[in-house]
Structure 1
């Protein structure tokens, strides 16, 4: 999972959109914490497209806390158009070189471009082999590099005097790509494109500021914080910006959508509205659903509800409201540590750093522990053990905001093998977590919470279909 953002000043070509991109990437930090970057377009600069990227969180990459370095970046990467990216790796390693955007220099401006990608190509290995067979040198083990080569091939198929037909370019890519792919594209002719894949697996939205800047982003929180009204880019649509002209068109015939439900229950920012559904409201309905499906007798006074920070706060608060049990923030998150689901280096070590236990509040209590999901189970086992052995909880009962995740995801979420998944390799059992009970939200409860038709959602990770 990654985050992409783009900005284009339509009227004022002296406006520097660099600050908008950096601010947008800060709002998308939750979608990727490995690296970040920007490509800006400035026709007054000798290097028309210029890219800055490296590993680190957004504030580190853009030197936000360093007055002089941040000012220098603001000046060096100024431009009235730019795209940005924050990375969570589902393909390739963790080296700096795989930070995005990927820039493809060329002597002709129309063929010199940069791209940022959010998604995952399921047939990446096949596409990579095909390129190598016809003489391509694949430098990185990354699906973004594959996309760059395919895009370059499409762009270079146009004669020098021909305008790029972006609708045809991206339509042609559909014949090769299998997966989820939202793309931000910017070339040295000053043309910008934002593309959402036909299935709609990953979100994308757009809007105009009061001073005529087009902004598009993976999530609406970026636009909301800029006080811009957000509009969803529909699956199979693209935004093309040329000069002062903005065109939003479908580039392929409509097909049934396949929205990823995980966007609402875990990945999405709490302030985002994704394809018409508020992330906050969905998580409230999850908590309400868990409460209505509860089978424990909760009349005694020593029960408390504790959410796992931070994506479960809303669900936990709603569960507590419906059941009448006190809501307690018994676990505090260390914000200098990233999301352990996203950081796939040393999960067990990250978990030990991630949470602070409020022992005085938890001791002697029966804890209803609310979490959005169990993927690998490493976080949960460590949490429950610490709640009992260190914090002195009398009992811990797990309540999980989605059904068991049993199957791999090939479209952009980092659980690729059944063996890595707790419910893929095991029949769920509270004893595996040292818990007193374990209950998942029902399938129908999840559908009701997301408020979408089942056929409009991708739920392969829980249905294996």
Structure 2
């Protein structure tokens, strides 16, 4: 599919010693019941599998992991009251971590589902964790492990490599605290990550990479602690907005002996928050690092309006703005308001059409066509400003434009993209790992002036015109300095050394005509 896909999302909950929390209606020993609700709120980050690990003292399996393929409702049997209740009772515990997954490799294989659990006779070495992100130095870490005597890596995923790195820090008689463990592990990693870990001693760790590429928020009210990739999961549990805050880059939250601490495990040389979180990935109800996702997207629409080249007469009533559902709506509405024309839902999305990104060839195009239905009564004879949040591979856009002309009978289609052109792969957790799969680079490589480039893009897509936002619009919309954002996919400037090296390798392959392979030579990340 032309849309990028995120790797995954993490969540965690812990009922600390103290009075029962009103946010945990089933009592302290069953705080784990909150996990499926939290995962539902971040399912936009992954629909391939869902799972959780719970800790319960006195149970033979101090840590017990449950995970299944499919969305959260499917995995946790939420549409079957009896089965869902049986799962909640079996896996009940005062502490739990959870995970939703999408993978670059597209493997529908339960072995890749998270959390990953590492069992051991010693409780301090028995742990489970969920991971959101991607390690740019995965090939080096994997090769180093395999070079050692009789070592074997079973899965082509950086999650397994990270599991081995964590276990290695506790090998032998070493007894690091969770903070010390994270400090040591982080020195081995290049890339993006947020981690939720629980061990058989009932200790918990939540950590965010030193650049802050991946988001994670947390909240504490009374005896209840919770954390998630996005703030909306905490808000919907009932935490007061003022108690929800981001885990800062290089920070770790640890719970040990019933005590919660927030400490720094690594220095943060710079910030590199992934800008794509605001414009596409995150739930529109979330706030990331103090900036509302909705307000950022609204500002992107205002930026689009400010650079709109078409002459528009609102009194003519022949022009409408149409968002591509759903993540483009805030930008489309704001753009339309600034231009003084209606924003209409001329495209209706079939929410039950299934995933299109794992379909191939004609099957994928047919699925895309069935996913959106143009409303002829709304669109016929209109000049349409079609607002999209991004164009990565262009598959969806081409099909949409054909459908708008054939079914919607529109007069003109002008594509407006609330993002600059995607020019480089992502090596930090977004499913766009090669230069060759991207729509924009071949056009930009010609060296022509931007108007000529946009004209050729429009011809290729079948649009009357195409416009993208300039790069500097992103920092204005997110209200963060550009140097605090990871904008590698729109600038080619990566925030880590391994990321920059991988990009150079990708460019060299394109220039030499070598076949491109994905980031991990065909392997998927978390």
Name the TM-score, length of structure 1 as normaliser: 0.96
Q: Does 1:6 align with 2:16?
A: no
Q: How does 1:112-123 map to 2 (within 5 A)?
A: 112-123=126-137
Contact 1:90–1:120, Cα closer than 8 Å, also in 2: no
Q: What are the Cα deviations for residues 254-289 of structure 1, in whole angstroms up to 9, with x where unaligned?
A: 310111100000001101110111000000000011
Q: What are the Cα deviations for residues 364-407 of structure 1, in whole angstroms up to 9, with x where unaligned?
A: 11110001100111111110111012210111000000110000
Give the aligned partner of residue 190 of structure 1.
202
Report SS of the residue matched to 1:119: strand
Alpha-carbon distance in structure 2 between the residues aligned to 1:345 and 1:234: 38
Change (3 A) 1:148 1:327: same
Q: Does 1:464 align with 2:492?
A: yes
Q: Does 1:257 align with 2:241?
A: no
Give the aligned partner of residue 300 of structure 2.
286
Alpha-carbon distance in structure 2 between the residues aligned to 1:449 and 1:219: 19
Alpha-carbon distance in structure 1 between the residues aligned to 2:173 and 2:216: 28
Q: How does 1:307-318 map to 2 (within 5 A)?
A: 307-318=323-334
Q: Does 1:62 align with 2:76?
A: yes
Give the aligned partner of residue 218 of structure 1.
229
Further displaced range: 127-136 or 109-118:
127-136
Q: What are the Cα deviations for residues 202-233 of structure 1, in whole angstroms up to 9, with x where unaligned?
A: 101110134x1100110100111112131110
Contact 2:369–2:403, Cα closer than 8 Å, also in 1: no
Q: Does 1:205 align with 2:217?
A: yes
Contact 1:36–1:56, Cα closer than 8 Å, also in 2: yes
Alpha-carbon distance in structure 2 between the residues aligned to 1:78 and 1:370: 45
Give the aligned partner of residue 426 of structure 1.
443
Q: Does 1:398 align with 2:415?
A: yes
Q: How does 1:209-358 map to 2 (within 5 A)?
A: 209-210=221-222, 212-228=223-239, 229-299=243-313, 300-337=316-353, 343-346=357-360, 347-358=364-375
Alpha-carbon distance in structure 1 between the residues aligned to 2:438 and 2:172: 44
Q: What are the Cα deviations for residues 47-68 of structure 1, in whole angstroms up to 9, with x where unaligned?
A: 1110010110000000000111
Q: How does 1:49-128 map to 2 (within 5 A)?
A: 49-90=63-104, 93-128=107-142
Report SS of the residue matched to 2:440: helix
Contact 1:286–1:315, Cα closer than 8 Å, also in 2: yes
Instruction: Note the C-alpha offset of 1:157.
Output: 4.3
Give the aligned partner of residue 481 of structure 2.
453
Change (3 A) 1:77 1:419: same
Instruction: Note the C-alpha offset of 1:92.
Output: 7.2
Alpha-carbon distance in structure 2 between the residues aligned to 1:165 and 1:345: 45
Q: Does 1:381 align with 2:381?
A: no
Alpha-carbon distance in structure 2 between the residues aligned to 1:447 and 1:453: 6
Instruction: Note the C-alpha offset of 1:158.
Output: 4.0
Instruction: Note the C-alpha offset of 1:431.
Output: 1.0
Instruction: Note the C-alpha offset of 1:249.
Output: 0.2
Name the TM-score, length of structure 2 as normaliser: 0.85
Q: Does 1:180 align with 2:196?
A: no
Alpha-carbon distance in structure 1 between the residues aligned to 2:280 and 2:212: 17
Further displaced range: 278-287 or 344-353:
344-353
Give the aligned partner of residue 407 of structure 1.
424
Alpha-carbon distance in structure 2 between the residues aligned to 1:261 and 1:179: 15
Report SS of the residue matched to 1:180: strand
Question: How many residues were matched structurally?
Answer: 459
